[in-house]
Structure 1
Amino acid sequence: MKDWYLLYCKRSEQERAVINLDRQGVECYYPQVTVEKIVRGKRVTAFEPLFPSYMFVYFDPESISYTTVRSTRGVADFIRQGARPQTVNPDLIYSLMINEDSEEQQSKLSDLPKPGETLKLTQGQFKGIEAIYQEPDGEKRSFMLINLLGKPVKVSVQNEDLVKK
């Protein structure tokens, strides 16, 4: 009987794992989100994994063994509960598929400050320091440029720690 499982992939090798797993007849899914970032000085729109290094796979362990899937190039191992690979509720997978790149997800990313905008940090070790927004660092963090001892330093902070000046 087919089930969904969660795999941990080697760093930046999800695409390789998908190609190799597809050849073996294993259905793969990893949710992606559209992000804007600066590449070589130009703003580009790119797709990035919502869960970097993690992928959902759908297969029947009686047809394709766990060892075969785990030994595929790009795959590190299954996420396990004890000795057995952890199954994932199919409703979770289908809701991720439906909500992938939804307008709500895109609006979360567009709520971020614009690069170069001056902000004040409200919490954490840099509380009270003015910073210049640089770029997002994942879904909940951002890179900020702060002035420490007369030199600009790039730091990563929680998005909720920011307030616009």
Structure 2
Amino acid sequence: MKRWYLLYCKRGEQTRAKMHLENQGLACYYPEISVEKIVRGKRQSVKEPLFPSYVFVKFDYEQGPSFTTVRSTRGVVDFIRFGSHPKEVNGDLIFDLQSIEQCQDVADCAELPDKGESVRVTGGQFAGIEAIFHEADGEARSIMLVNLINKQIPVSIDNKDLDI
């Protein structure tokens, strides 16, 4: 009977390990999540591993391949173990992770406004206020100039709260 196991992989070699495991006829699952980042001034949706350096693999060790064969696959370090035997992962967990991954909303890549452009704030403590875009503040926030008592005050606002 095929069972799910969790493998620990060499840093940055999860995709290589997954490819070599699939070449051996094994079912693999490498969960990824979409993360919104700002790359070169543009907001982009980038896929990143949900569990860096880990890959789920499904196989029957009695029919083959053996634990040693899987562990010796290029990019794989070892199984996650409790004691001397690899720990089985509940199949419901894998099903739940796969359904969550499929239900993710993937945002369209949107550009940030130009410096000095007026933007409406749609959420947070400044909701409903018109602000002036000043500059990006990391990957998920922007510095906006907000008029408070006839003075422009720089405020860091989450990009999801901006009407771009």
Q: What range describes the TM-score normalised by the shorter chain of this pair?
A: 0.5 to 0.7
Match of 1:47 in 2: 47
- In 1, the alpha carbon distance for the partners of 2:102 and 2:34 equals 7
Per-residue deviation, 1:44: 2.5
Match for residue 11 of structure 1? 11
1:100 positional shift: 1.1
1:32 aligns to what? 32
- The TM-score, its normalising length taken from structure 2, stands at 0.61
Could you list the structure 1 runs, at least 4 aligned residues long, displaced by more than 6 angstroms after superposition.
Answer: none
Instruction: Say what the alpha-carbon RMSD is for the aligned residues.
Output: 2.5
Per the alignment, residue 70 of structure 1 pairs with: 71
Work out whether residues 36 and 139 of structure 2, in 8 Å CA contact, stay in contact via their aligned partners in 1: no
**Separation (CA, whole Å) in 2 of partners of 1:40 and 1:17:** 31
Say if 1:32 and 1:79 are closer, same or farther in 2 by CA, change over 3 A.
same
* Aligned residue type for 2:12: S
Q: Which runs of 5+ in 2 are unaligned?
A: 107-111, 113-135, 141-164
Query: Partner residue of 2:117?
Result: none
How many residue pairs align between the two structures? 113
Q: For 1:102 and 1:28, locate their aligned partners in 2 and report how far apart those are by CA, in whole Å.
A: 20
Deviation at 1:40, TM superposition (A): 4.4
The percentage of counterpart residues that share the same residue type is: 59
Query: How many angstroms does 1:101 deviate by?
Result: 4.8
Q: TM-score, normalised by structure 1?
A: 0.61
Could you tell me how far 1:39 is from its partner in structure 2? 3.4
Distance 1:76 1:95 in 2: 26
The reply to whether residue 134 of structure 1 matches residue 138 of structure 2 is: yes
Q: List runs of 5+ in structure 1 lacking aligned partners.
A: 108-113, 115-131, 137-165
Matched letter for residue 88 of structure 1: V
Q: How far apart, CA to CA, are the structure 2 residues paired with 1:100 and 1:49?
A: 11
Q: Which has the larger radius of gyration?
A: 2
